[in-house]
Amino acid sequence: MKIIESGTGAEAGIRAANLIAELVRATPTAVLGLATGSSPLPLYAALAEQNLDLGRVRGFSLDEYLGLGAADAESYARVIRREVIERLGLDPDLVRTPDGLAPDPVQEAADFERSIRAAGGIDLQILGIGSNGHLAFNEPPSAFDSRTRVVELEPSTREDNARFFDSLADVPTHAITQGLGTIGEARQLLLIAHGEAKAQAVARAVEGPVTEDFPASLIQRHPNATLVLDAAAASRLQCARV
């Protein structure tokens, strides 16, 4: 595991973007796992400044709320389109997000899992981290071998995400998420975090016990995981970083 510390969230975004740019320059058809939320936004902003041709990059979103379609302002499909596809010049036909309005969400999850395998797997998975240690929407406890599936969101996760909605009551209660087994099969994990609010979760993920009760501890088992943190998010770590 490699830990990169930068002074600010914007600086962390630049360093994370450099890692993705290096991959895409070497492999223009790279498969990226795309995260939403506030943590990866500095990364996407910095990547947009690189004038990099991402037109052949393929992408798979980490998750999607059930009950929200691509036209909903807070759906992850809409966020990915706005913050990633349009901002970075990806081909929308090469980016897939689970359908939050699928008539059979269980089948949609299985189809999404198969589509990742059909693409040859994910080369680099972008990740944030939840305050309770969730990765994507894998709430504790989640099996390390879990696959893309329908999950119920913890109250704390809904409360954390309520800032994106008009009220807590508007936050969906369920989602489709890549499983920890799916995430763990990516050839590289890139977790980005900034702010003091993430410091405890980061420290536990990096230096705490590896346990399904804290899903983000999965990163300790991965052979090629990089964490890019600002100073606040790294403030509780005891281990060395660069």
Secondary structure element (H or E) that encloses residue 112, with its range: helix 105-118
Closest CA to 21 of 59, 60, 48: 48
Q: Measured at the alpha carbon of residue 195, what is the angle toward residues 138 and 145, in degrees to the nearest 5?
A: 20
Question: Per the residue annotation, which of 113, 134, 222, 230 is the catalytic one?
Answer: 134
Report which residue type is found at 213: D
Q: How far is residue 126's CA from residue 114's CA, in Å, rounded to a whole number?
A: 20
E strand spans, 178-238: 188-193, 225-230
Secondary structure element (H or E) that encloses residue 150, with its range: strand 149-152
Task: Decide if 134 is catalytic.
Answer: yes
Task: Look at the block and give the residue holding tokens 């740019």.
Answer: 21
Do residues 16 and 49 lie in contact, with contact meaning Cβ atoms separated by under 8 Å? no
Question: Per the residue annotation, which of 5, 64, 139, 160 is the catalytic one?
Answer: 139
Task: Look at the block and give the residue holding tokens 């990089």.
Answer: 226
Q: How far is residue 132's CA from residue 30's CA, in Å, rounded to a whole number?
A: 31
The total number of residues shown for the chain amounts to: 242
Question: Per the residue annotation, which of 5, 11, 63, 160 is the catalytic one?
Answer: 63
Question: Per the residue annotation, which of 11, 64, 123, 132 is the catalytic one?
Answer: 132
The torsion angles phi and psi of 38, rounded to 5 degrees, stand at: -80, -25
Task: Look at the block and give the residue holding tokens 């450099």.
Answer: 18
Task: Decide if 139 is catalytic.
Answer: yes
Do residues 135 and 218 lie in contact, with contact meaning Cβ atoms separated by under 8 Å? yes
Task: Look at the block and give the residue holding tokens 């990059």.
Answer: 57
Catalytic residues: 63, 132, 134, 139
